[in-house]
Amino acid sequence: MKFNIINHGSLIGFTPVDDTAQAWWDEHVQECPQMGNQYLVEHGYAHVIIEAIEAVRIKQQAASDKLGAGGPMGSKQQA
């Protein structure tokens, strides 16, 4: 899940980069104004969305770490 986030001053632009990000946005954020493919959020509310996106990223990273750096077979270690 990836977003491009741009600070426009009083508004923050969120652009979902992939389908997972778009699905997350559709499920978790109420309707808001758009400029092109950017969703515009007032600066005062943007931190809540950023924190939620970061929480998902941390959760995904933890799940990935359980598989090991080398995937399901484990990572190669040098002697």
16, 3 in Cβ contact below 8 A?
yes
Mean pLDDT (whole number) for 7-29: 96
Q: Please state, in angstroms and rounded to a whole number, the distance separating the CA atoms of residues 42 and 50.
A: 12
Q: Supply the DSSP symbol for 37.
A: T
Does residue 45 belong to any structural domain of this protein? yes
Which tokens go with 66?
Answer: 């359980």
> Residue 22: which domain range?
3-67
In a domain, residue 79? The reply is: no
| CA-closest candidate to residue 11, choices 44, 50, 37, 53 | 44
Mean pLDDT of the chain, nearest integer: 87
Does some domain include residue 38? yes
In the predicted model, is pLDDT for residue 38 greater than 90? yes
Asked if residue 73 is part of any domain, the answer here is: no
| Residue 78 belongs to a domain | no
Do 75 and 68 form a contact (C-beta atoms < 8 A)? yes
Asked, for residue 75, whether it belongs to a domain, the answer is: no
Count of structural domains, the chain = 1
pLDDT for residue 78 = 52
Question: Residue 35 has which token pair?
Answer: 């400029």
Is the pLDDT confidence value at 49 over 80?
A: yes
Q: Is residue 74 a part of any domain in this protein?
A: no
Q: Can you give the pTM of this predicted structure?
A: 0.77
